Structure 1
Amino acid sequence: MPMTTLIILAATCIVSFMAFNNRRLVDDLILWPPAIERKREYYRLVTYGFLHADPMHLLFNMMTLFFFGRAMEPAYNATLGTFGFALFYLGGLIVSILPTYLKNRHNNNYRSLGASGAVSAVVFGFIMYAPWQSIWIFFLKVPAIIYAVLYVAYSIYMDQNGRDNVNHSAHLWGAAYGVVFTVLANPAVLPHFLGELSRPRF
């Protein structure tokens, strides 16, 4: 039973639903870089990930976390101990948002929220273990490694050209963190991944 995944999912849903109708709670928890820079409110580097813009944003992230988190939690706990997956997810929240924070630390108008960076880390950790496993993109099923390439390419393009108010930088850094953390936690994953890539299965 992926207890850590379920706890994270439940906590995120509770906080997000509370914040949908509580502007003050959003203001207290959201990533607002000047609050970290001036007031040393470093907790915002984590709490922003428990807020979401709307129910659909929350549903998409939590569905993805549920399916991939329950697959990956045993792997991280096996190599890092009982709190391995919690450590991985917490690190994903922080690392994925740090470049955004550093870029906007003097920007009074910038806000960011959502668990997408950490969720991306979980997905890319999974891809390191099972690159040919099928992943659904809406109604299309594609190999995980193809999804990874498309996801990275799209995120890079949108990060440079997009105007959709989505933090694509966090998606990219979360994905990179997921790969690096997974390999450092279990170095055998890298030769396994490369070996799997040499044996395509569509």
Structure 2
Amino acid sequence: MDLSITIVLIIITAISSYYGINNGAYMERCMFTPYIIKRNSQWERFITSGFIHKDYVHLFFNMFTFYFFGGVVEQILAYKFGGILGGV
């Protein structure tokens, strides 16, 4: 079985969201809050906020949609820039 980048991102997002839904402090730490980002220089929130979701319904629908569109995006990027490791 080939693990695509889409599947890897779905797994990482599901784990992060599951942990965040069950741990309010982690969820709060990852949320995209511009004032806190600027005040505390927490620039990593630009990335971490993309891996958390408010609840399981939100997570399911986003990952369901991402599953179908992610493969197409991977194909377009591979065509335009070449595959991973030069097309291997």
Q: What's the TM-score bracket when you normalise by the shorter of the two chains?
A: 0.7 to 0.9
Task: Provide Cα deviations, 1:55-104, integer angstroms capped at 9, x if missing partner.
Answer: 00000000000011112212112212446xxxxxxxxxxxxxxxxxxxxx
**Partner residue of 2:69?**
68
Normalising by structure 1, what TM-score?
0.39
**Partner residue of 2:23?**
22
Q: Distance in 2 between matches of 1:24 and 1:61?
A: 23
Give the AA of the match of 2:77.
Y
> What root-mean-square deviation, in Å, do the aligned CA atoms of Structure 1 and Structure 2 show?
1.6
Q: Distance in 2 between matches of 1:12 and 1:28?
A: 15
Change (3 A) 1:17 1:60: same
Q: Distance in 1 between matches of 2:65 and 2:55?
A: 16
Between 1 and 2, higher relative CO (CA 8 Å, sep ≥ 6) is seen in 2
Count of aligned residue pairs for this structure pair: 83
Q: Distance in 1 between matches of 2:83 and 2:26?
A: 31
**Partner residue of 1:57?**
58
Q: Distance in 2 between matches of 1:22 and 1:82?
A: 37
**Partner residue of 1:191?**
none
The answer to whether the Cα contact below 8 Å between 1:2 and 1:69 also exists between their aligned partners in 2 is: no
The secondary structure found in structure 2 opposite 1:53 is coil
Q: Distance in 1 between matches of 2:3 and 2:70?
A: 8
Normalising by structure 2, what TM-score?
0.84
Q: Distance in 2 between matches of 1:2 and 1:14?
A: 16
Q: Distance in 2 between matches of 1:56 and 1:69?
A: 19
Q: Distance in 1 between matches of 2:62 and 2:71?
A: 14
Q: Among all aligned residue pairs of Structure 1 and Structure 2, give the percentage whose two residues are the same amino acid.
A: 31
Give the AA of the match of 1:41.
Q
Give unmatched runs, 5+ long, in structure 1. 84-202
**Structure whose CA Rg is larger:** 1
Give unmatched runs, 5+ long, in structure 2. none
**Partner residue of 1:38?**
39
TM superposition outliers: structure 1 runs of 4+ over 3 Å: none
Q: Distance in 1 between matches of 2:75 and 2:53?
A: 27
Q: Distance in 2 between matches of 1:77 and 1:70?
A: 10
The secondary structure found in structure 2 opposite 1:74 is helix
